[in-house]
Structure formats: C-alpha cells, structure tokens
Structure 1
Amino acid sequence: MSSKASAVFPGTGTVWSARLLSVLRIVAALGFLQHGTAKFFGFPALPFPGPLPPFVIAGGLLELLGGALLLFGAFTRPVAFVLSGEMAVAYFLFHAPQGFFPATNGGEAAMLYCFVFLYFAFTGGGPWSLGGLRSADKS
C-alpha cells in the first residue's frame, strides 16, 4: 500500500490487504454459490420454472461445487480459473447478444465474477483459506 494510503489509514498495509483478499473471496463465493443452490435446490427461487437445460445444469454444477471450494479457499487458483472461464462463456453466449452494454444486457454480474475469479486465479485465496492454512503449516 502506498505511503499516502497508510497516512490516511494508519496501521493498514499488507496484513489487511491479504485479509481483505480473503473477505472478497468469501463474499464472492457466497454470492456465486447461491446461483448453484437456486438451480438445484430452488433456494433462492428462480424466476423461470420447469426442467433445466443441460448447459444450465453444467453451469449449476460449476457454481455449486466451485462456489463451495472457493468459499473454503480449497484449490482456489485452478477453481477460480475455471469459474472465470465459465463466466466469460456465460457473458458472451447469453448476455452479449442482448446488447453491447453490460448494464442493459443483464451481464454485469457475469462480467464482474469473470474478472474477480481471474484475480483469484493469480492471487490465490488469501490467509483465511484452506490453501493459506496449508502453506502456513509448511513455514
């Protein structure tokens, strides 16, 4: 963190940056996980009734399993990479054809999840994760 930021927020730095990385991972995973629970368990309820098409079932499995793994910070980098790809596919196949702007094509969440997960693919899950606990045990 820059010296200007440290002057505004004394006591902040790499410790809190790492912790907030974990908080972002947990919050993003909880938000993502609810898409999988909605598809498979009906909670929260989805606006469209009926049987799910196969591609929605595949996406729901990634959301359910990937969201749970990210929530606990297990295999964060490879899981986040796969989920980032899933969200890129979701955006370009389902949202982009509806219009150019994410605010009008309903693709804001897919776009944000794509880049947040890509960030996790490079940074990992942070100290409050199973991966972070495992690497702390080795030192």
Structure 2
Amino acid sequence: MKSSFTSEYWAPRLLSVLRMVCGYIVLFNGWERIRENPPVVFTGATDSIEAILFWVGLACGALLLVGLFTRLVATFLFLVTALKYALFTVVYGHYPPLIFDDRLLLFCFVFLFISAAGPGQWGLDALRGRQG
C-alpha cells in the first residue's frame, strides 16, 4: 500500500490542481473582459489579432481547466505568453513595465512545465487514457 505522504502520491494530484488553477485564471481573465463596462470593442488590424487571441484564450482556458488536450493547449499558451513578453520587451525596452513582467514570465514557464509534465491525474485526458 502506498503511503499518502510520498511525492509519487501527491505529484500527479498537485499537477492537476496547478493545471486547473491556471485554466481558471486564463478563463476568468477572458470572462472579465467580456463583462467589461464599456464592453471591449476591437477595431483595426492589431485589435483583430488581439480579438482572435482573446477568444482563443477563452477556449484554451476552458480546455485547460477540464484537462482536455492539455499538452497542446499548454504549449500554445506558452508560445503566446512568450511572444507577448517578447513584444513588450521590444516596445518598452529591456525592462517591460512591472505589470506585465512578472505575470507573463511566470505563466510562460508554468505553461511550459504543464506542457512537459502533462495533465496530471484529474482531467478528461486521464479519463480518455491519454496523457495530453
């Protein structure tokens, strides 16, 4: 019988909790932008790219929350956050504003970790018998 105080017992469960919390944050961030007063209106070429990333981010947050296609979604979110950080670095110089710096870098590497480690024990990928 496995002891419940070992890392083999807790690692897949806590990985699932990390995945669900990150999915919730991504989903909640998009949901708040929908409910914004006044509503977010996308105009122009850069705004259309932002709108596409906004809706794709909502879908990715939902998929990450339930643990479906976890590795693919986490890899995509890693690439998007890395690209956003790189763009902010180009626009604002070597040190982007602190509001973007910490969160983007943290989520960038958390998504990289989830894409490498998989969905964890709880999620639809585990029910399907796949690891992402």
TM-score interval w.r.t. the shorter chain? 0.7 to 0.9
Provide structure 1 residue ranges, at least 5 long, that are not aligned to the other structure: 1-9
- Would you say 1:87 and 2:81 are equivalent positions? yes
Partner SS state of residue 106, structure 1: helix
User: Paired residue for 1:51?
Assistant: 41
CA RMSD of aligned residues (A): 2.3
Report SS of the residue matched to 1:79.
Answer: helix
Q: How far does the alpha carbon of each residue in 1:83-105 deviate from its partner, in whole angstroms, 9 at most, with x for none?
A: 11011111111355324346636
> SS of the counterpart of 1:107?
helix
Which of 64, 67, 70 aligns to 1:73? It is 67
CA distance in 1, matches of 2:29, 2:96: 19
Query: Which one of the candidate residues 24, 28, 34 is aligned to 1:34?
Result: 28
- TM-score (structure 2 length as normaliser): 0.80
Q: Secondary structure at the match of 1:127?
A: coil
> Of 8, 17, 33, which residue of structure 1 is paired with 2:11?
17
- Cα distance change of structure 1 residues 18 and 102 upon mapping to structure 2, 3 Å threshold: farther
TM-score (norm 1): 0.77
The superposition leaves residues 57-96 of structure 1 with CA deviations (integer Å, 9 ceiling, x where unpaired) of: 1221221000000000000001111111011111111355
Q: How many residues were matched structurally?
A: 123
Q: Does 2:101 align with 1:107? A: yes
- Higher relative contact order by CA 8 Å / sep ≥ 6: 1 or 2? 2
Identity %: 36
